[in-house]
Amino acid sequence: MNLATRDRGGRGERGATVVELAIVMPVVLVVVLLIVQSALWFHGRQIADAAAREGARLARVDTDSWRQDGESRAQEVIRTVGPKLLDGATVTAWEEGDRRGVEVTATAVQVIPLLPSTTFTVTARFGGPIECFRPDDGSEGCQ
């Protein structure tokens, strides 16, 4: 095989790598962005869980300002840990019978602009029984 034959065979595939890269690169980029988006959603969910858990811890204490205490503590956790990771966070204290807690709803940061923002909504709800002192004499109720 002489040099002229080898050159002609190589010229037919010139630029093939650039075309392959142009086809594959957008797919790789989308996959990487989806991984980053899911990681940000997961991290936002962890922040919402922590905020709801901390707010519920204060809301369960039997005081007159339990609702304000729980909501303000949850908002403080969101501001401290992830103020830019959760957009439009709403904190709501709730009471159901002898149980109290806090619910946090927010939207995780969005990396991929074409996806609807409702896809990345995060909701966390924590609560438990109201904590109060119950006397040993067998009488009912909290003191």
In a domain, 141, yes or no: no
In a domain, 77, yes or no: yes
Give the model's confidence band at 98: pLDDT under 50 very low, under 70 low, under 90 confident, else very high.
confident
In a domain, 10, yes or no: no
Mean pLDDT of 10-28: 81
- CA torsion sign, 60 to 64 to 66 to 67? positive
Q: What is the CATH number of the domain that holds 56?
A: 3.10.450
The parent domain of residue 66 ranges over 15-129
Output phi, psi for 131, to 5 deg. Answer: -90, 125
Give the model's confidence band at 80: pLDDT under 50 very low, under 70 low, under 90 confident, else very high.
very high
Taking 90 as the threshold, does the pLDDT of residue 104 lie above it?
Answer: yes
pTM confidence score: 0.76
Q: Give the alpha-carbon dihedral of 108, 110, 112, 114, to 10 degrees.
A: 100
At 9 the pLDDT is 52
In a domain, 139, yes or no: no
Which residue has better confidence, 128 or 83? 128
Number of domains in the chain: 1
pLDDT tens-place string over residues 28-73: 998 998 899 899 999 999 999 999 999 999 999 888 899 999 999 9
In a domain, 47, yes or no: yes
d(CA 118, CA 112) in angstroms, rounded, equals 13
In a domain, 113, yes or no: yes
In a domain, 72, yes or no: yes
Mean of all residue pLDDT scores within the chain: 85
